[in-house]
Amino acid sequence: MYDRVEAPPASRTDFVLESIKEAILNGKLKPGQALVETDLAAALNVSKTPVREALKTLAGSGLVVMSPYKGAAVRTVDAAMANSVYDVRMLMEPEALRRSVLLGASFDDAALALEDVSDLARRSLANRRFHRALYAGCGNPLMIQILDGLRDQAALITVAGWGICPTWDDEAAEHRAILAAAVAGRGDLAFELLRRHIQTFADRVVEELPDGVR
């Protein structure tokens, strides 16, 4: 599941954190799967301490749930979670993109993310980078911070959504249209295309997810 790389002591917790996060976001660690400290430590060739710290951080970002009786597990995506995340994204992300366009921001990183999709297991990570590149130049640090705070949970929902209905090809075409509008300086069009892109995915996924208000 992981490459057994010996991490330098100073960066061991970061190494463990990124390794577990990537395994969750590329679907190797499934929603609801137990995260056993001893197993993770052995797989990553580290002690349990950095694993424990990494799991606490991941719980704070919404990717992991901690239970005093059951321990840690990958968060299970439900409709209530998806609704909450996508409500905020719908309100903020298209506007952040429009502002990025108006400010003349570069979208080179978004273009690079579109190219990095040959590995199926890494598509979620490429999708995550693409969306961040759209709003990163909006000029509002608080808006960026809020959207950054949703990135991990949004990526987890994306992985769940592709498991329900694999629509990557359609979404990739939508990404190209959004990027083309942004690069052309058409902020209002980019706003609308991104809004529609987020709404379409949310509608499809939330309808199929359990345990939430639809």
The pLDDT tens digits of the residues spanning 108-157 come to 999 998 886 655 557 778 888 999 999 999 999 999 999 998 988 888 88
The C-alpha atoms of residue 20 and residue 29 are separated, in whole angstroms, by: 8
Quick one: pLDDT at residue 7?
A: 47
54 exposed, middle or buried (CB, 10 Å; 0-12, 13-18, 19+)? buried
pLDDT band at 210 (very low <50, low <70, confident <90, very high): low
Q: Work out the pLDDT band at 214, boundaries 50, 70, 90.
A: very low
Beta bridge partners of 34: 73
184 burial level (CB within 10 Å; 0-12, 13-18, 19+): exposed
Task: With beta carbons less than 8 A apart as the criterion, state whether 109 and 136 touch.
Answer: yes
pLDDT at position 207: 74
User: What pLDDT, on a 0 to 100 scale, did the predictor assign at position 128?
Assistant: 87
Q: Give the pLDDT confidence of 78-116 residue by residue, as tens digits.
A: 888 888 899 999 999 999 999 999 999 999 999 998 886
CA dist., res. 43 & res. 52, Å (int): 14
Q: Which CATH number fits domain 79-208: 3.40.50.11810, 3.40.50.620, 1.10.3720.10, 1.20.120.530?
A: 1.20.120.530
Mean pLDDT of 185-209: 90
In CATH, the number for domain 9-74 is 1.10.10.10
Output the pTM of the full model. Answer: 0.79
Task: Check whether 64 has a pLDDT greater than 80.
Answer: yes
In this structure, of 2-11, 27-36, 147-156, the range with the lowest mean pLDDT score is 2-11
What pLDDT sits at residue 27?
A: 78
pLDDT for 141 equals 97
Decide if 9-74 and 79-208 have a common fold.
no
Q: What mean pLDDT, rounded, does the chain reach?
A: 86
- Report domain extents, the chain: 9-74, 79-208
